[in-house]
Amino acid sequence: MAASFSKSIQLAAIATDRASRNPASGGAEPLATLLAKAQPIALTGEGLLAAQAMRLLMRLDRELLEARAQWNQDWFRRVMHSRSQAASRLRRRWGKITPPPAIPLGSLRRRHHANLAGHLYEPGP
């Protein structure tokens, strides 16, 4: 994300430089409106609750990766249980946002098996 942000700033600087060299083109004024500082958006109500639910789900996904990396089966199982509850909470909150978001939520499913090391070993006779 940082690379794309810096690239867009560089492109805006190049466009500004070109517009200042050629004042007859009239491109400086529309560019100035594009480069104006954006006002922060304050989330309220259901939008705020949906954003908090999404942050919780993302945090649980990071915890899940860490639990897998540590090979901690109990931690993984507990986080996976919490994740399913957080996913249903996010689905519920996302559905209550008015007007509905332009981006669909998509699938929040995640496959898991209680035994983290199950795929490493051959099954016994």
41, 45, 46, 48 alpha-carbon torsion, rounded to 10°? 50
Please report the pLDDT score of residue 5 as a whole number: 47
pTM, 2 dp: 0.59
How would you write the pLDDT of the chain (125 residues) with one tens digit per residue?
A: 444 445 555 555 555 555 555 555 555 677 777 778 778 888 888 899 999 999 999 999 999 989 888 888 889 889 999 999 999 999 999 999 988 888 888 888 876 665 666 555 666 65
Please report the pLDDT score of residue 18 as a whole number: 56
**Closest alpha carbon to 73 in 116, 120, 113:** 116
Per the rule left: phi > 0, alpha: psi between -120 and 50, beta: everything else, 110 is: beta
Please report the pLDDT score of residue 1 as a whole number: 45
Distance of CA 44 to the CA centre of its chain: 19
Q: How many CA atoms lie within 13 A of 82 on its CB side?
A: 16
- Measured CA to CA, the distance from residue 84 to residue 82 in angstroms comes to 6
